Amino acid sequence: MENSINIKLKVWRQAGPKAKGRFETYELSNISTDSSFLEMLDILNEQLINKGEEPVAFDHDCREGICGMCSLYINGRPHGPDDDVTTCQLHMRKFKDGQTITIEPWRSAGFPVIKDLIVDRTAFDQIIAAGGYVSVNTGGIPDANAIPIPKPDADEAMDAASCIGCGACVAACKNGSAMLFVSAKVSQMALLPQGRVEGARRAKNMVAKMDELGFGNCTNTGACEVECPKGISLANIARLNREFLKAKAQD
């Protein structure tokens, strides 16, 4: 049976990157607990448009936990109160009737606000461009069994590759560190023979770009792992540190 709730929203509104932001309060009635969080924001925006007001700008694309676009800080947690889900996978059944829900953009020097709840996450693209690839021409697709890979390595590489680049790890970190993201991207290749060759150089270049773009240092608080919607493990950070030290030793 469908239930509905009435909620109060405190939403961060900011006209542009240099504008001063503020919280605006909105009240929504009869929101189905079966609706997703983003559907609830769609309803808010329909109501704002009908009143001739500016809709709330927020990012989304796939709405199924794949693209990493839906970067919202909800009641003090990246991607909200549910574990291991992105904002687009969050449902209104996780909230109570009469509850106030505070919605903010990611807060990080590396992710400046563009408008309202949308932040600029191109810093992650720049980090990838600094080394998150295999630089040799790998030719056509080889047979799956051409290079034997131990199953545990393949599993670990796949786990690391499930990082969707959402940035929740940065938003959760008191230092604004991007180490969990970088470590996942380094690990997904360092664990496989094709990516192993450039592992150390990749780690060095990606960490240098991360530092240059204003992300903070990792002090092992572990908040990133707790809030990551894809369960990326801190073990990847340990691997990144090993790769990085190896690269420094080769200098």
Return the SS3 of 199. Answer: helix
CA distances for 16 relative to 55, 117, 202, angstroms: 14, 10, 35
184 binds, among ligand SF4, ligand FES, none (CB under 5 to 8 A by kind): ligand SF4
CA 5 vs. chain centroid, Å, equals: 28
Q: Does 91 bind ligand FES (CB under 6 A)?
A: no
Residue pair 20/14 in contact (Cβ under 8 Å)? The answer is yes
DSSP assignment letter at 207: H
Q: 73 is in the binding site of which of ligand SF4, ligand FES, none (Cβ under 5 to 8 A by kind)?
A: none
Contacts (CB under 6 A) with ligand FES, residues 31-60: 60
Angle in degrees, CA 67, 233, 199, rounded to 5? 85
Query: Is 178 in a helix, a strand, or coil?
Result: coil
Binding site partner of 108, from ligand SF4, ligand FES, none, Cβ cut-off 5-8 A by kind: none
Using rule CB under 6 A, residue 70 touches ligand FES? yes
Q: What whole-number distance in Å separates Cα of residue 30 and Cα of residue 11? A: 19
Which does residue 103 bind out of ligand SF4, ligand FES, none, counting CB within 5 to 8 angstroms by kind? Answer: none
The Cα 128–Cα 205 span in angstroms is 10
Q: Which residues make up the interface to ligand SF4 (CB under 6 A)?
A: 163-169, 180-181, 184, 228-230, 232
Residue whose C-alpha is closest to residue 167's, from 15, 23, 59, 53: 59
101 vs 169, beta carbon nearer ligand SF4: 169
CA angle 51, 100, 36 (to 5 degrees): 70
Q: Rank residues 128 and 149 by Cβ distance to ligand SF4 and give the closer one.
A: 128
Residue at 24: amino acid letter = E
- In the complex, least distance from residue 17 CB atom to ligand SF4, rounded to whole angstroms: 22
Q: In angstroms, what is the minimal distance from the CB of 205 to ligand SF4?
A: 19
Q: Helices 235-250 and 199-212 meet at what angle, rounded to 10?
A: 100
15-23, 67-75, 146-154, 209-217 -> range binding ligand FES (CB under 6 A): 67-75
Q: Is 105 in the site for ligand FES (CB under 6 A)?
A: no
Which of the choices ligand FES, ligand SF4, none does residue 9 contact, using the CB cut-off of 5 to 8 A by kind? none
Q: Note whether 65 binds ligand FES by CB under 6 A.
A: yes
Residue 66 interacts, among ligand SF4, ligand FES, none and using kind-specific CB cut-offs from 5 to 8 Å, with: ligand FES
Q: Does 171 bind ligand FES (CB under 6 A)?
A: no
Query: Judging by DSSP bridges, how do beta strands 113-115 and 118-119 pair with one another?
Result: antiparallel
Q: Which residues form the interface with ligand FES (CB under 6 A)?
A: 60-63, 65-70, 86-88
